[in-house]
Structure 1
Amino acid sequence: MKQSIQTLRGLACIFLVAYHTVGSAPDRGLMMGDGTLLRHLAESFVYLRMPLFAFVAGLVYTFRSVTPGQPVAPFMLGKARRLLIPMLVVGSTQFFFQTLAKGFDLGHLAEALWIPIFPYEHFWFLQAIFVIFALVAFLDSFGVLVQRIAVVIGLFLAAAIASMDLIQTELLSIRGALYLLPFFFLGLYFGRFGDPLARRGGVPIAWALVAIGVIVTQAGLFGYLDGPLPREAPLGLLFGAAFCMLIIRTGWTNSKLEFIGKYSYGIYLFHMFGVAGLRMILPKIGIDQPYLMFVIMLAGGLSLPILVEQIASRFNLTRMLLLGQKPLPKAKPSPPGSTDEVGATAR
C-alpha cells in the first residue's frame, strides 16, 4: 500500500508541475494560449490533479488519525508546524521573488501580509487541507467518523455543498477546502472501510463515470459545449472521485513515480522556483522552443525541490522552516568500550 500511495503522489506531482509549467492561465507560464496542445492537456487534468492530492491525504490520515476521546490540540499543532510554517516561509519567499521580477514595489511587497489569511498561488492547498484536518480531527475526537454511514453522509453532504457553491468566502481558503473535502472523505473511507467498488457493479459504474467525464471534458475544451465543465459541477466531482477510486484499487506501483512521491511535499512547496527560474533563463541561452522548454522546465520543477528537500532535511532549522519537519533525533552517546569510542580514542 505504501508504494502505491507514493506512486500516486508522484503522479499528482507531475500533473501539478506540468500544469504550472504550461501556466495556470494563457498569460502565465509558457503563455500557451487556448487551442494549443499543451494548454489543452493542462486543462484536461484539472478534474484529477487536486482531487488526487486530497484523496491521498484522506487515506494517509487514517494511518495516524485522532481517536475518540483524544485531544485535538496536539494533532493540530503538529499539522500547523507541518503545513502552516512552510506555507508562510516558502510562500513569502516566492512572493518576494515574484515582486522583484516585476520591479520592486514596496507597496506590493506589503501584500505578503495577507498570505496567512487568503489563498496565494498553489499554497492555498496547504491552508485548505489544514482546515479539513481541523474539521475531521474534531469529528474524530467525538467518534463521529468511526461509523461507515457517518462518513458516507459526510461525503455526500460535502459534495452537495461544493457543487452548489454555497459558501464562496476565500478566507483561509475555505472555498478550496469545501471543494477538496469530498475527496478527503473518499480517501478516509478507503482507509477505514475498504474499497466501495468491491460490491457488484461498482467498477463498471466507475469506468462509465470516467468515460463520461473524459467525453464531457473534451467536448467543453473543444468548444462543443458552452465552456469547460466547472470542476465543482456534480459530474466534475464524480469524474475525479471515480478516477481516484479506480487508480488506488489497482495497487499500481512505479519505481520512478514512487521516488518522486517520496519528495511530494518538497515538490509542492518549491516547484515554482525551478519552473519560473528556467522560464527566465532558457530564452537567454537560446532555448525558446515551447515544447523543449516544457520538458526542461518540468524536469527542473521536479528535480530542484528534491535537491532542496535533501539538503534542508539535514539541519533542524531548515527542516522546520522549509519543510515543517520535526528536529533530527539526537545521537545517543556511545556506551563505554563501543567500537565508536575505541576508534575515536585510537585516532
Structure 2
Amino acid sequence: MMKISQTKKNLNIETLRGLAIILMVLGHVIGGSSRDGLKVVDNSIWRFSYYALQYIRMPLFTVISGFVYAYKPVSRFTSNSKFIAGKINRLLIPLVVVATLFYLLQYFTPGTNFKPPLSHIWRIYVYSYAHFWYLQGMMCVFLVITVLESCQVFNTLKSAMFCMVIVALIYILLPCKIYYFSFNRVPFLLTFFILGLSLKRFYEFILKKDIITIAAVIFIVAISFQLYLFNVNAGVSIANFLTFCVGSTACVLLISLGYQNSKLIWLGDFSYAIYLFHILGAVTARVILARLSVHNMPIQILTGLIAAISFPVLLRLLCGSNKVLSVAFFGDKISSKKSPLPKRNPENVPASRIFPY
C-alpha cells in the first residue's frame, strides 16, 4: 500500500470527523425508538436507515478519538496528572454546564418528549444522561489509557492488538452492570479507542491490502446479517458482537479510503460544539414545525438536521471570543490567552486539535 503523508492522513481523519458528526446528529434527529426524536414508527424506512447505521456511528466517532489521541499521547505531557487535568477541563466542565442547561431547558420548554423532575437533576452528574454519557465514558477511558500507556501496552502492535481483543471480549461477553458515571459503556468505548490508537500508531502495518480485503469481507457479511435481523430483538451478546464486527471493519475501510472533502473538513472543526449542543437545535426545529402543523417526515428530518448543525456552529462562533463561555460551554483551556476558533485550513491545525478528545 502506498504510504500516505502525515498531512493527508490528517485531512482524511478531518473528513471522517465531519461525516461522523452528521451521522450522529441524524440518528438523534430520527430518534433511537418510536418514543424519541421525531418518534418515527418502527416499521418505516427511516427506522431502517437508523438501524443500518447504528453499529457505525459511535464506533467511528470513538475510533477517530483514539486515532487523534495518538498524535499527542499522554507521554507527550510533562506528567500524567497534567494530561488528566486537561481532560477534566475538556470533558467534565462542559458536562456539568451544558448537561445542566439541557436538563433545565428540557424541563421548562413546552413540547419536549420527556420532562424529568427537578429533584432528580443531581443524577445527571452521576449516571448516564442523554448524549452526555459519552463525556463520562471518555473520561474513564482516558484514565484507563493513562495506566496502560504507563505499562507500555501500546508500544508494539502485538501487545496493542492483544489488549484490544481482551477488552473486546469483555465488551461482547461480559456486559458491565456498573452504571455509575457511564462505566457500563467503557468496554465499548475502550475497544474502539484502542483500535483508533493502533490504526494511527501502526498505520503501515495494519492497513495493508490483504487486511483491507479481509475487513471488507467481514463487513459485508456482518452488516448483511445485521440488516437481516432488523426488528428482531437480538440478545445483548449478539448485538455487541455485531457492533464490534461492523463498526471495526467499517472504520478500517473508511480510513483506508483516504477520502477528503473540504466541506466535511470545515464542519469537522465544529464537531465538539455540534456534539454538545445539537439537541437544542433539533428540539427547537421540531417544536416550531409542530406549531406550524408540518408533519412531512423528510421535511422534519432535513430541517432538524440543518438546525441541529447550524445552531452549535453559530453558538461556537459567537462565544469563541468570550473566555468564560468558551471554557464553560466548550472546555477550552483555562490558561490559554485566546480561545481557539475552528479554522478553515486544517493543515495549520495542531494535531491536538484535530478532534476534541
TM-score normalised per structure 1: 0.89
Asked if 2 retains the 8 angstrom alpha-carbon contact of 1:69 and 1:141, the reply is: no
CA distances 1:115-139 after superposition (whole Å, capped 9, x unpaired):
2211101110111111111111122
CA apart distance, 1:172: 1.2
The answer to whether the Cα contact below 8 Å between 1:10 and 1:258 also exists between their aligned partners in 2 is yes
Preserved contact between residue 55 and residue 244 of structure 1 (Cα < 8 Å) = yes
- Please tell me the residue identity of whatever aligns with 1:290: M
Aligned with 1:64: secondary structure? Answer: coil
> Partner of 1:28: helix, strand, or coil?
coil
Residues 275 and 300, structure 1, Cα contact 8 Å, conserved in 2? yes
User: Which residue of 56, 59, 65 corresponds with 1:51?
Assistant: 59
For residue 241 of structure 1, report the CA deviation from its aligned partner: 0.2
1: distance between equivalents of 2:307 and 2:242? 34
Query: 2:150 pairs with 141, 157, 160, which one?
Result: 141
How far is the alpha carbon of 1:228 from its aligned partner? Answer: 8.4
Larger mean Cα displacement after TM superposition, 105-114 or 60-69: 105-114
Superposed displacement of residue 285, structure 1: 2.4
Change (3 A) 1:253 1:93: same
CA contact (8 A) 2:226 2:242 kept: no
Q: Return 242-251 or 166-175, whichever deviates more.
A: 166-175
Measure how far apart 1:230 and its partner are. 6.2
Q: Distance in 2 between matches of 1:55 and 1:162?
A: 16
- Cα deviation, residue 261, structure 1: 0.7
**Aligned partner (choices 138, 146, 152) of residue 129 of structure 1:** 138
Within 5 Å, give how 1:117-266 maps onto structure 2: 117-199=126-208, 201-221=210-230, 223=231, 227=234, 232-266=239-273
Q: Retained in 2: the 8 A contact 1:196–1:202? A: no
- Residues in 1 aligned to 2:92 and 2:185: alpha-carbon distance in whole angstroms: 16
**Which is higher, the Rg of structure 1 or of structure 2?**
1
Q: Is the 8 A contact 1:7 1:254 kept in 2?
A: yes
How do 1:1-347 residues align onto structure 2 when only pairs under 5 Å count?
Answer: 1-67=9-75, 71-101=79-109, 108-199=117-208, 201-221=210-230, 223=231, 227=234, 232-327=239-334, 328-329=336-337
**How far did 1:231 drift?**
7.2
Over residues 279-299 of structure 1, what are the superposed CA-to-partner deviations in whole Å (9 max), with x where a residue is unaligned? 001122242211111101101
Q: Mark the CA change 1:134 to 1:200 in structure 2 (over 3 Å): closer, same or farther.
A: same
TM-superposed deviation, 1:110: 2.4
Contact in 2 for aligned 1:71/1:141 (Cα 8 Å): no
Instruction: State the percentage of identical aligned residues.
Output: 28
User: Does the 8 A contact of 1:231 with 1:237 survive in 2?
Assistant: no
Q: Which runs of 4+ in 1 moved over 4 A?
A: 102-107, 225-232
Displacement of 1:216 in angstroms is 0.9
Extract unaligned runs of 5+ from structure 1: 332-347
Paired amino acid for 2:136: Q
Q: Once the 2 structures are TM-superposed, how far is the Cα of residue 195 of structure 1 from its aligned partner? A: 4.4
Offset from partner CA, 1:222-280 (integer Å, 9 cap, x none)? x5x55488675323201100000110111111111111111000000000000011100
Aligned length: 329
Q: Indicate the SS of the match to 1:249.
A: helix
Letter of the aligned partner of 1:57 in structure 2? S
Q: Equivalent residue of 2:259, what SS?
A: coil
Which runs of 5 or more residues in structure 2 are unaligned? Answer: 1-8, 340-357
For 1:276 and 1:246, how far apart are their aligned partners in 2? 34
Mark the CA change 1:330 to 1:38 in structure 2 (over 3 Å): closer, same or farther: closer
| Contact 2:30 2:39 survives alignment (8 Å) | yes
